[in-house]
Amino acid sequence: MKKNTGIRSALLALTLVALVAGSPAISSATGSHSLVVQTEVKGSVQDVVKGLSKMVAGNGMMVMGELHQGKVLKMTGLKVESETIFVGSPAMGKKLFSSDLGAGLVVPVRINVFRNDGGNTVVSYIPPTRLLGDFGNPELTKRAGMLDESLASMVGMLSR
């Protein structure tokens, strides 16, 4: 029994090492292997969220939820400007979920808009391909690429 436990422990350790070695950096949004896209944009957090919401609707998508982090964190005494919206498309969602139900871990896409320490407004998100690509499903990867393009285009318009 102890021998079997030792083998399981060794396999678990090897798996964890492989995952850590192969995973992209999360701590830095500016690194070339970063998981996160962060773009400084013009306007207040509220104005950017409103503008982004309009662009989302104009691109056949919708805001499926909101998280008012700044208001919640204020209860703890932390004063930050931070709003998150969850963006998706029922039509695209149908295609993604039909390919793999696990897509629900990634979509709708979470977009965070916050004021950084320098006083600039930042739009931050994880491109769907960086997460859905790990499913190893070519159909998911293709659809995620379409979402990446839409998100990059919208955020690009905000940064001009």
**pTM, entire model:** 0.78
Q: Helices 45-58 and 138-158 sit at what angle, rounded to 10 degrees?
A: 130
Q: Where are the alpha helices (DSSP H) in 66-111?
A: 69-74, 90-99
Neighbouring residues of 127: CB distance < 8 A, sequence distance ≥ 6 = 37, 144, 147, 148, 151, 152
- DSSP symbol at 24: P
| CA gap 84, 106 in Å, rounded | 15
For residues 55 and 160, the answer to whether their CB atoms sit within 8 Å is: no
Residue 34's pLDDT is 83
The whole-number mean pLDDT for each consecutive block of 10 residues of the chain, a chain of 160 residues, reads 40 29 35 82 96 94 96 94 96 94 96 97 96 93 94 89
Maximum distance among all Cα pairs of the chain, rounded to whole angstroms: 64
Strand 37-41's sheet: what is its strand order?
A: 37-41, 121-125, 109-115, 82-88, 62-67
CB 51 within 8 A of CB 158: yes
Q: Look up tokens 């969220």; give the residue.
A: 49
Q: What is the pLDDT of residue 77?
A: 96
CA distance 69 to 55: 22
